Homo-oligomer: A and B are copies of this chain.
Amino acid sequence: MKYQEAKEKFISTWGSLGTLWGINKAMAQIQALLFISTKPLSMEDIMEELQISRGNTSMNLRQLIDWGIVTKVLVSGERKEFFTTEKDVQELARTIAKERSRREIKPVIKVLEEVSSIEDDGTKKTQELIKQTKALKELTDDLDTLMNKLVNQKQNWLTKSVLKLMK
């Protein structure tokens, strides 16, 4: 496998993984492209490389910027904008974990809390609802905390030592 093929494989795999994780294809592909690029890319570069429209590129770049994954960079002597993505995988994971927690997990925990704290009217079905949503709430809470803590360990000693402990 040569460079071009490998690059395309990486970008398309990352793209379809994105879809699976609630991030759209173009967004994931743009991030992938920037991730392996040796220098910041302009909108033109991205459009050309991924064969997508200007509008699409613009909208998805904005989303990536909202996620905190991509940043605009100024290239001196150039008028147009250039973009790069976070290049350190640890930092990338940290950002994604934080955003997913904020956007997806926290709101669910909130609903589970509300549902699990309805008044117990003594019926079996109400008790089951309370019991099960409470259990789900606790699990979700634990996993969310764990994920954030793990991924926030800058030095990553914890992941390493926990892994070693278990391997």
A residues whose Cβ falls under 8 Å from a Cβ of B: 1-3, 6-7, 9-10, 13, 17, 19-22, 35-38, 87, 89-90, 93, 104, 108, 111-112, 114-115, 118-119, 121, 123-126, 128-129, 132-133, 135-136, 138-139, 142-143, 145-146, 149-150, 158-159, 162-163, 166-167
Return the chain B residue nearest A5 by Cβ.
Answer: B118
Contact A111 B159 (CB under 8 A): no
Chain B hits for A90, CB < 8 A: 139
Task: List 20 A-B residue pairs with CB atoms under 8 Å apart, sorted by A's residue number.
Answer: A1-B118, A2-B121, A3-B118, A3-B121, A3-B126, A6-B114, A9-B115, A10-B115, A17-B108, A21-B22, A36-B128, A37-B125, A38-B125, A38-B128, A87-B132, A90-B139, A93-B143, A142-B163, A146-B150, A146-B162
Contact B142 A159 (CB under 8 A): yes
With A10-B111, A108-B13, A115-B10 known as contacts, the answer to whether A36 contacts B129 (CB < 8 A) is yes
Contact B124 A38 (CB under 8 A): yes
Distance (whole angstroms) from the CB of A87 to the closest CB of chain B = 7
Chain B hits for A111, CB < 8 A: 9-10, 13
With A20-B104, A139-B93 known as contacts, the answer to whether A125 contacts B3 (CB < 8 A) is yes
Chain B hits for A124, CB < 8 A: 38
Most central of A19, A133, A135 by chain B CB within 10 Å: A133
